[in-house]
Structures are given as C-alpha cells and as structure tokens.
Amino acid sequence: VTPSGFTVMKSCVELKSIAYSADSRIE
C-alpha cells in the first residue's frame, strides 16, 4: 500500500465514522 493510498483509506474511514455519528445524532 502506498502512503498516499493509506492516507486516502484512512480519511475515507474517518469520513464514514463522522457520517455515522451524524446519522445517530439525527435519529
């Protein structure tokens, strides 16, 4: 895995957890 690819994957996971938290708060 390239460093940039790892960074992209990490930010994707962070965005998903943020979106999940927002969904939980809305409900």
pLDDT tens for each residue of 1-27:
678 888 999 999 999 999 888 887 766
Q: Report helix, strand or coil for 23.
A: helix
**What does the alpha-carbon distance between residue 10 and residue 27 come to, in Å, rounded to a whole number?**
26
pTM of the model: 0.51
Q: What is residue 11's predicted lDDT score, i.e. its pLDDT?
A: 93
**What does the alpha-carbon distance between residue 10 and residue 17 come to, in Å, rounded to a whole number?**
11
**What does the alpha-carbon distance between residue 6 and residue 9 come to, in Å, rounded to a whole number?**
5
**What does the alpha-carbon distance between residue 12 and residue 9 come to, in Å, rounded to a whole number?**
5
**What does the alpha-carbon distance between residue 15 and residue 18 come to, in Å, rounded to a whole number?**
5
Q: Which amino acid is at 21?
A: S
